Chains A and B, each alone.
Chain A
Amino acid sequence: MANPLDYLKETASQTAGPYVHIGLVPSDTGIEIYDHELGRDITGPNATGERIRVEGRVLDGNGAALKDVLIEVWQANAEGVYAHPENSGTVEDGFRGWGRVIADFDSGEWSFETVKPGGVPGRSGSRQAPHINLWIVARGINIGLNTRLYFDDEGTANAADPVLGRVDPPHRRDTLIATRDDSGAMPVYRFDIRLQGDGETVFFDI
Chain B
Amino acid sequence: MKTPAEFYMRDRSIHPPAYAPAYKTSVARSPNQALISLENTVSEITGPRFGHGDIAEGDNDLLTNYAAAGESAIGERIILHGRVLDENAKPVRNTLVEVWQANAGGRYRHKKDTYLAPMDPNFGGCGRTLTDDEGYYFFRTVKPGAYPWPNQVNNWRPAHVHFSVFGTAFAQRLITQCYFEGDPLIPICPIVQTIPDPAAIDRLTARLDMNATIPFDAIAYRFDIVLRGRRSTLFENRLEGN
Contacts and interface: CB of A to CB of B under 8 A. Distances in A.
A-B interaction: yes
Interface of A: 6-24, 26, 29-31, 33-35, 38, 60-62, 64, 66, 68, 72, 74, 76, 82-88, 96-98, 120-128, 131, 133, 135, 137-146, 148, 163, 166-167, 172, 195-197, 200-206
A62 B25 CA distance: 12
B16 A14 contact: yes
Contacts of B25: 139-140
A34 B99 CA distance: 13
A91 to B, nearest CB: 11
A128 B45 CA distance: 14
Contacts of A133: 43-44, 170
SS of B interface (majority): loop
Contacts of A23: 98-100, 126, 162, 164
22 contacts: A9-B203, A10-B226, A11-B176, A15-B194, A22-B100, A24-B98, A24-B100, A24-B164, A30-B111, A34-B59, A84-B49, A86-B42, A87-B240, A88-B240, A98-B47, A137-B175, A142-B194, A143-B18, A195-B29, A200-B33, A204-B35, A204-B38
Interface in B47-104: 47-50, 54-56, 59, 65-66, 85-89, 96, 98-100
A172 B31 CA distance: 13
A13 B15 contact: yes
Contacts of B217: none
B33 A86 contact: no
B142 interface: no
Given A9-B203, A74-B170, A142 B17 contact: yes
A196 B100 CA distance: 28
- Most interface-central of A8, A11, A140 (chain B CB within 10 A): A11
Contact of A82 (B38, B43, B199): B43
A20 to B, nearest CB: 7
A68 B100 CA distance: 16
Contacts of B48: 74, 83, 96-98
B87 A120 contact: no
A123 to B, nearest CB: 6
Given A8-B85, A22-B125, A196 B242 contact: no
Given A8-B87, A34-B56, A120-B43, A206 B170 contact: yes
Contact of A205 (B10, B30, B87, B174): B10
Contacts of A76: 43
B241 interface: yes
A123 B241 contact: yes
B41 A61 contact: no
A26 B126 contact: yes
Contact of B46 (A21, A84, A167): A84
Contacts of A98: 47-48
Interface of B: 4, 8, 10-12, 14-18, 20, 23, 25-33, 35-50, 54-56, 59, 65-66, 85-89, 96, 98-100, 108-113, 124-126, 128, 162, 164, 170-171, 173-177, 191-192, 194-195, 197, 199-201, 203-204, 225-229, 238-242
Nearest to B65: A33
A140 B28 contact: yes
B18 A142 contact: yes
Contacts of B125: 22, 31
Given A8-B86, A142-B17, A121 B241 contact: yes
Nearest to B192: A14
List of 10 A-B pairs having minimum Cβ-Cβ separation, nearest first = A23-B100, A140-B25, A84-B46, A98-B48, A140-B29, A142-B16, A125-B241, A205-B35, A61-B28, A14-B177
B36 A29 contact: no
Nearest to A18: B112
A36 B188 CA distance: 39
A146 B41 CA distance: 14
Contacts of A87: 42, 46, 240
A159 to B, nearest CB: 18
A62 B28 contact: yes
